[in-house]
A and B are shown apart, each in its own frame.
Chain A
Amino acid sequence: MSITRAEKKHEKRFLCLFLISSAIMILLIISANIIINPRSEFGTTIFKPLIRHARSEKIEMMKALPERPELIVLGSSNSMKLNCSLITSLTGESCFNAAVDAARIEDYYALLSYIIEDLGFKPKTLILGLNIEAFSDSLEIDPRLISEKRLYSKIEKPILPPEIGIIIDSMSPYYLIDSFTVLKYTLVGYPAESSHYEKDGQGVYDQWDSEIAAGNFSLEEELGASINNFVARLRYMNAVSHERKAYLEKILDTAKNGEMKVLMFIPTTHSSGIEVLKKETKYSEMRDELKRYLEGLKEEYDFTYIDASEASLYGGNPDGFYDVSHINGKNAEMIIRKMIAQYNEEHPQNQLMPKTPIDTSYSTTVTRLASPEVV
Chain B
Amino acid sequence: MILFNSLAFIFLFLPLTLAVFWLLRTKKLRYAWVVVMGYFFYCLWDYRFALLLLGSALLNFLMAKYIYRHSLRKQKHNDGNDDDERNCGKGFKSERLKSERSGCLKRNIAIAFAITIDLALLGFFKYYNFAAGMANSLLPLLGIGPGAGAGLGLPILNIILPLGISFYTFQSISYIIDVYSGKTRPAGSFLEFMCYISFIPQILSGPIVRYDEMRPSLEAIDNSPDSSKFYKGINLFVLGLAKKVIIADTISALISPMIIGHSSLTTITAWIAAIGYAFQLYFDFSGYTDMALGIGCFFALELPKNFNSPYKALNISDFWRRWHMSLTRWVNDYLFLPLTLSGKGITKPKILIASLLTMLILGVWHGAGWTFMLFGLYHGIMLVLYQLTKKGYDKLPALVRRILTFIIVVVGFVIFRSDSIAMLIDLLGRMFSFTGGMPFFNLRLVLLLAALVISSILSFFFKNTNEIEYHFYARSWALAIVMAFIFVICVIAMGRAEVAFLYYQF
What residues make up the interface of A, taking CB atoms closer than 8 Å to B?
A: 3, 6-8, 10-18, 21-22, 25-26, 29, 168-169, 171-176
Contact = CB atoms under 8 A, between A and B. Distances in A.
B488 A29 contact: yes
A7 B496 contact: no
A18 B488 contact: no
A15 B230 CA distance: 8
A7 B7 CA distance: 31
Interface in B80-94: none
B7 A8 contact: no
Given A14-B231, A21-B484, A25-B488, A169 B495 contact: yes
B414 to A, nearest CB: 27
A26 B488 contact: yes
A171 B6 CA distance: 12
Given A14-B479, A18-B234, A25-B485, A173 B473 contact: no
Contacts of A169: 495
B404 interface: no
A176 B496 CA distance: 11
Given A10-B476, A21-B481, A21-B485, A176 B492 contact: yes
Contact of B480 (A7, A14, A172, A176): A14
A176 B7 CA distance: 17
Given A21-B480, A171-B495, A172-B495, A7 B473 contact: yes
Nearest to B474: A10
A15 B234 contact: yes
B228 interface: yes
A11 B476 contact: yes
Contact of A172 (B471, B473, B496): B496
Given A10-B476, A18-B483, A173 B227 contact: no
B477 interface: yes
B480 A18 contact: yes
Contacts of B7: 168, 171
6 contacts: A7-B473, A14-B234, A14-B477, A21-B480, A25-B488, A171-B495
B491 A26 contact: yes
A173 B483 CA distance: 19
A22 B473 contact: no
A31 to B, nearest CB: 13
B231 A11 contact: yes
Contacts of A11: 227-228, 230-231, 476
Contacts of B477: 13-14, 17
Residue of A3, A17, A29 most packed against chain B (CB within 10 A): A17
Nearest to A169: B495
A12 B226 CA distance: 10
Nearest to B231: A11
Contacts of B474: 10
B476 A17 contact: yes
Given A14-B476, A17-B484, 18 more contacts: A7-B228, A11-B231, A13-B480, A15-B234, A16-B480, A17-B476, A21-B480, A21-B484, A26-B488, A26-B491, A29-B488, A29-B492, A169-B495, A171-B491, A171-B492, A171-B494, A172-B492, A173-B496
Nearest to A18: B480
Contacts of A14: 231, 234, 476-477, 479-480
Nearest to A175: B495
**Which 6 pairs, one residue from A and one from B, show the smallest C-beta to C-beta distance?**
A172-B495, A21-B484, A17-B480, A11-B227, A10-B473, A14-B476
